[in-house]
Amino acid sequence: MTVNPGPAPRALADGELVDLLGAQRFGVLATVKRTGHPHLSTVLYQWDAKERVIRVSTTADRLKARQIRADPKVALHVSGPDVWSFAAVEGDAELVEVSDGDEPDRRLTITFPATRLYGTALDLAHDT
């Protein structure tokens, strides 16, 4: 058995997770395909820390919207400032129609509460 003497990842505290989600704008949204496999899309998201809700803009004809209609389980992965840290948000998504007037609109907002929020970081000592 190989022993790695280096530092191990640590779980991020809730405040660190909230801060990481607020500091980033892009993430990878996972939806569920008909086969049960994940479908991944890079998305621009908005994090509402007070409500603990993620919002993603999309259009009605996008694959992710169709998949959410079939199965609302989603997850968002957000990378931290280095390759060793991340936050993940899981929840059940809702598709909210966006309308600016009387005309039908294809725009939707994927909205989901953070029913599960987790992530890790690897604290490395820096030489000074």
The predicted pLDDT at position 5 comes to: 72
Assess contact for 99 and 105: CB atoms under 8 A: yes
Phi, psi of 41 (to 5 degrees): -135, 130
Residue recorded with tokens 């899309």:
41
| Mean pLDDT taken over the chain | 91
The predicted pLDDT at position 125 comes to: 58
The predicted pLDDT at position 41 comes to: 97
Tell me how far CA of residue 43 lies from CA of 8, 46, 49, 50, in angstroms.
29, 10, 18, 21
The predicted pLDDT at position 37 comes to: 97
Q: Which of 127, 126, 125, 43 is nearest to 79 (CA)?
A: 43
For the chain, report the end-to-end CA distance as a whole number of angstroms: 33
> Within a 10 A sphere around the Cβ of 69, how many other Cβ atoms?
11
Assess contact for 53 and 92: CB atoms under 8 A: no
More confident residue, 28 or 81: 28
Maximal CA-CA distance, the chain: 67
pLDDT in tens, 35-84: 999 999 999 999 999 999 999 999 999 999 999 999 999 999 999 998 88
Q: Is the pLDDT of residue 127 over 50?
A: no
Question: Helix, strand or coil for residue 68?
Answer: helix
Assess contact for 68 and 75: CB atoms under 8 A: no
Q: The whole model's pTM is what?
A: 0.88
